[in-house]
Amino acid sequence: MPLIKKLLALYSILLMSLSGNSQKQSIDMVSYTAPKGWQQQQKEGGVQLSVIDNKTHAYAIAIITNAIASNADANENFKMNWDKLIKGSVQVNTEPIMLKPAKENGWEIISGTAHYTNGAQKGLATLITATGGGQMASVVLMSNTDKYQNELLAFTNSLALAKVASNTTANENSSVANKAIAGNWSYSVSESQYGSLSPGYSTKQYNFKEDGTYTYRHKFFSSSIHTLLFQYESGTYHVSGDQLTISPLSGANEEWSKDKTHPDKWGKQLKTSNRKLEKVIYVFTLRYFSGVNETNLILQAVKSTEREGSFSSIPDYPNGWSFKPCNSNNNPAIVTPPGFKEGAVNKTATASANTVNSPLAGKIWEAQSLEKHGAAYGSMSGFHTGGFWLYQYKFNADGTYHFAYTAASALATNPVNVLQYETGTYAVNGNQLIITPLKGTNEEWSVGKINNGMSAEHVREVLETRIKRLKTTTRKLEKITYPFSLEYWQGNNANALCLKHTQNTVREGSPGQNDQSCFFETTSAKAKDFNALFK
If asked whether residues 356 and 423 sit together in one domain, one would say yes
Q: Do 321 and 205 form a contact (C-beta atoms < 8 A)? A: no
Judge contact between 252 and 272, C-beta under 8 A. Answer: yes
Same domain, 466 and 359: yes
Sign of the alpha-carbon dihedral angle for 367, 370, 371, 374: positive
- Please indicate, yes or no, whether residues 30 and 149 belong to a single structural domain of this protein: yes
Boundary of a domain, candidates 265, 290, 325: 325
Single residue among 308, 325, 342 that ends a domain in this structure: 325
Task: Answer yes or no: do 255 and 203 share one domain.
Answer: yes
Residue-level pLDDT at 458: 56
Tell me whether residue 172 is in a domain: no
Query: What is the span of the domain harbouring residue 218?
Result: 178-325
What HEC string does 348-411 produce? Answer: CCCHHHHHHHCCCCCEEEEEECHHHHCCCCCCCHHHCCCEEEEEEEEECCCCEEEEEEEEEECC
The residue type of 291 is G
Q: How many residues are present in the chain?
A: 535
Q: What is the DSSP string of 298-325?
A: EEE-SS-BTTTBSPB--TT-SSEEEEEE
pLDDT value for 248: 85
Shared domain for 26 and 128, answered yes or no, is yes
The reply to whether 336 falls in a domain is no
3-state secondary structure 90-101: CECCCCCEECCC
Q: How confident is the model at residue 465, as a pLDDT?
A: 67
**Which CATH number does the domain housing residue 144 bear?**
3.40.1000.10
Q: Which residues contact 22 (CB under 8 A, 6 or more apart)?
A: none
d(CA 250, CA 359): 7
Structural domain tally of the chain?
Answer: 3
CA distance 464 to 467: 9
**Residue where a domain terminates, one of 99, 130, 161:** 161
204 & 289 share domain? yes
pLDDT in the model for residue 172: 33
Domain-located, residue 113: yes
> Which secondary-structure segment (H or E) carries 218?
strand 213-222
Q: Do both 363 and 507 map to the same domain?
A: yes
- 340 in a structural domain: no
Query: Quick count: other Cβ atoms within 10 Å of Cβ 163?
Result: 14
pLDDT at residue 374, rounded to an integer: 32
pLDDT averaged per 10 residues, the chain (length 535)? 46 44 67 89 80 88 83 81 83 86 87 85 88 86 87 82 57 47 88 56 91 90 90 86 83 90 90 84 86 87 87 79 81 83 42 58 83 34 54 90 84 68 88 89 78 53 71 91 83 83 88 83 85 78
Do 365 and 444 belong to one domain? yes
Chain-centre distance for alpha carbon 321: 24
Q: Closest Cα partner for 316 from 346, 341, 348, 283?
A: 283
Assigned domain for 256 exists: yes
In-domain check, residue 374: yes
Tell me if 333 is assigned to some domain.
no
Answer yes or no: do 394 and 494 share one domain: yes
Same-domain status, 196 and 314: yes
- The answer to whether residue 85 is domain-embedded is yes
Q: Do 12 and 157 share a domain, yes or no?
A: yes
Maximum Cα–Cα distance for the chain, whole Å?
85
Same domain (yes/no): 270, 366: no
